[in-house]
């Protein structure tokens, strides 16, 4: 029989699909940073009723926490892009699997992502949504792998700049495994 897809060896060491991962950003640090981002957005968008557009599937946990950390009036909608499948390396090809329902013309849009890696997904989203003529458009991403980003993007709200290694947890998956982990874990090849 094959081993379980998710194995806990200790509080901070796990295996996902047979690969070792260790805690990288724990739940308390995540929570504090999300609160700070929510506060910053509340100040920047006072009176503007922004619409948060979550990118499925990975962003839903970050989005749920971020939205509750925002104290001003705001709305939510979702879009979905094709994913890498079970690969750790970005394929670089992006397709839309679900478009937003909201009419964003003249609205203040905040795109909410789990991670910006190569940046190709975000570039695709910014390009697609700009055709709908929002009043403004900014990005909130929980994580940014700056060393992997190939395109020039303005990322207004960044949770953490991280090393260029594969991460799972807090919504991020490895072949659909690990999204439910409360901490963010990083591949541990030591």
Would you please indicate which residues are annotated as catalytic (active-site) residues? Answer: 117
Q: By CB under 6 A, is residue 22 in contact with ligand IMP? A: no
Nearest to 74 by CA among 85, 82, 83, 64: 64
Nearest to 124 by CA among 74, 185, 167, 81: 81
Window 83-102: residues binding ligand IMP (CB under 6 A): 83-84, 90
Candidates 19-27, 37-45, 98-106, 161-169: pick the segment binding ligand IMP (CB under 6 A). 161-169
Least distance from C-beta 90 to ligand IMP, angstroms? 3
Neighbours of 24 (CB within 10 A): 21
Distance CA 86, CA 176 (A): 7
* Under 8 Å between Cβ of 158 and 144: yes
Least distance from C-beta 121 to ligand IMP, angstroms? 3
Query: How many residues touch ligand IMP (CB under 6 A)?
Result: 18
Q: Print the binding letters for residues 108-147 with ligand IMP: x by CB under 6 A, - otherwise.
A: -----xxxxxxxxxx-------------------------
**Residue 169: helix, strand or coil by DSSP?**
strand
Residues that bind ligand IMP (CB under 6 A): 58, 83-84, 90, 113-122, 166-168, 172
């Amino acid at each position: 029989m094959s081993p379980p897809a998710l194995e806990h060896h200790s509080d901070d060491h796990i295996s996902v699909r047979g690969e070792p991962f260790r805690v990288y950003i724990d739940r308390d640090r995540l929570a504090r940073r999300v609160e700070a981002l929510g506060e910053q957005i509340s100040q920047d968008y006072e009176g503007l009723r922004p619409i948060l557009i979550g990118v499925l599937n990975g962003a839903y946990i970050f989005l749920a926490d971020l939205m509750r950390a925002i104290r001003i009036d705001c709305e939510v909608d979702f879009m979905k892009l094709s994913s890498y499948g079970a690969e750790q390396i970005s394929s670089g090809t992006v397709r839309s699997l679900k478009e937003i329902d909201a009419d964003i013309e003249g609205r203040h849009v905040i795109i909410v992502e789990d991670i910006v890696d190569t940046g190709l997904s975000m570039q695709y989203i910014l390009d697609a949504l700009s055709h709908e003529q929002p009043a403004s458009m900014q990005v909130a991403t929980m994580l940014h792998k700056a060393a992997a980003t190939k395109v020039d993007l303005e990322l207004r709200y960044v949770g953490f700049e991280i090393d260029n290694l594969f991460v799972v947890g807090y919504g991020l998956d490895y072949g659909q495994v690990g999204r439910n982990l409360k901490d963010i874990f990083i591949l541990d090849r030591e």
